Structure 1
Amino acid sequence: MIKLHHIPFSRSFRILWLLEEMNLTAELRIYSITDGSLRKPEFKAISPFGRVPALEIDSITIHESGAIVEYLTETRPECGLGRLVGDPDRISYLEWLGFAETQASIIASLNMQHLFMGPETPASPAVLKLEAARLGATLKAMNSSLDGQDWLLPSGFSAADTMMGFNLFSASYFVHVDKFKNVIAYIERIKSRPAYIRARALDGEQKFYNKNFYEALDV
């Protein structure tokens, strides 16, 4: 039995999507970011930092999406979703896995300031503008990298796309993605993948965003 500890529309979607790409079925344990369930001792015993995703598989438990992606792709090379040692795309693959977390950390900062800081700790307009600009710079870099190819790696779809691709659905709440034509085409290719469609149906309703777009506040 595979168990995925999951919050809808969070980074754990990366793993839900990857499992679907690998035709692996997981039992979902659903949590909320606001109800305190991530701080309970029973969850901390599974994920010491109180974060999702956490994956129970092969009689072990792994947390942190990057580590889970590397474990799944290395233990199941027949799925062809990793790039193992000796593969010409190995370095680019690892770079995209790392860049996915760089980009996600900017999104997390914007999420925190727009969505989770209370009135007693108002968000800084200058920081919001800076973080939105930083996020836009990462999208510009992606747009350039996708010029002339369908996926992040020249050799085709990989787990790097499940790591990076998920970010784009949150990024669009803070940056006008439509000016990055290659990124828009990439998003459409992602949306057409059967495994992505299945994963989104399993994911559950997102409860983070209550607006279509969050403008940086005027300084």
Structure 2
Amino acid sequence: MITLHHVPQSRSMRVLWLLGELDLPFQVVSHGFDKSLRDPEYLSVSPAGRVPSLEIDGERMFESLAIVHYLCERFAQAPLYQGPGDIDRMAWLVWVEFAETISQHAANLTQQHIALREDHMRSATVMQIEAKRIEKCYSAIEARLSTPVENRDYLLTGGFSAADVCTGQAVYMARHFAPIEPFPELSAWYARITERPAFQASLPQEGAGRIFAKEFYPAWES
């Protein structure tokens, strides 16, 4: 049995989505976005006290993109996974890893808007810069999706892949801080991938804890 340790609306969501796409049997252990991740019992699974972590075949691993690589290498086929020698291998690596670029900017804004609870703790400059950096990431995705090739519905020419899962989940988080509507190709792609049942199943369930209490956080609130 595969066990995923998960906090809703965190990077573990990308692993949850991928597990759904792989149609594997698994169970989810949900955690709060709080100090419970520092409990000794959980630190035995994830030494840095972070999610996601994965228990599989008696082994434990952490770091979301490492988990994505492992699950794809073991269970996925093309086009979901593009392995060594596959035609889309280079693009698959680039766009799976690009998710972390977006996620880091979103994480910095999550820190500013949510973890720092008082206005005097926040930096308007940091918030505005990070929101602009997210927009730069959107521009990169927009350029990729605007490439004049046949069937550019997804990030890879071969079709929907883990690159769309990882980058799409990062955009899901980033949308709380920078709107995607000014980017038409990105918006159409995002609408397309988020219709998938596995994405819908990765969203917070009714009554579950959430990181984001609001749909959108402006670059500065006073």
Which of 180, 192, 201 matches 2:183?
Answer: 180
Alpha-carbon deviation of 1:77?
3.7
Q: Deviations over 1:78-106 (max 9, x none)?
A: 47421100011111111112211111000
1:141-161 deviation line (CA, Å, top 9, x unaligned): 111111251111111111111
Alignment RMSD, CA only?
2.0
How many residues matched? 218
Extract structure 1 runs of 4+ deviating beyond 6 A. Answer: none
Structure 1 CA distance for aligned equivalents of residues 66 and 206 of structure 2? 21
* Structure 2 residue runs without a partner (length 5+): none
Match for residue 194 of structure 1? Answer: 197
Residue pair 1:22, 1:79 contacting (<8 A) in 2 also: no
- The match for 2:28 is 28
- The TM-score with structure 1 as length reference comes to 0.92
In 1, are the aligned partners of 2:102 and 2:171 still within 8 Å (CA)? no
Unpaired runs of at least 5, structure 1 = none
- Cross-structure match for 2:156: 153
Amino acid at match of 1:81: L
Match of 2:45 in 1: 46
1:4-40 deviation digits (Å, cap 9, x = unpaired): 0001111111111111101112111110112x21001
2:69 aligned with 1:66: no
CA distance in 1, matches of 2:84, 2:3: 28
Q: Secondary structure at the match of 1:179?
A: coil
User: What does 1:1-219 correspond to in 2, within 5 Å?
Assistant: 1-34=1-34, 36-78=35-77, 80-119=79-118, 122-147=121-146, 149-200=152-203, 205=208, 207-217=210-220
Counterpart residue identity of residue 6, structure 1: H
TM-score (norm 2): 0.91
* Amino-acid identity (%): 39
Give, in angstroms, the shift of residue 197 of structure 1. Answer: 2.5
Q: One-letter code of the match for 1:17? A: W
CA deviation after TM superposition for structure 1 residue 67, in Å:
0.4
SS at match of 1:62: strand
Q: Is the 8 A contact 2:8 2:204 kept in 1?
A: no
CA distance 1:124–1:201, shift in 2 (3 Å):
closer
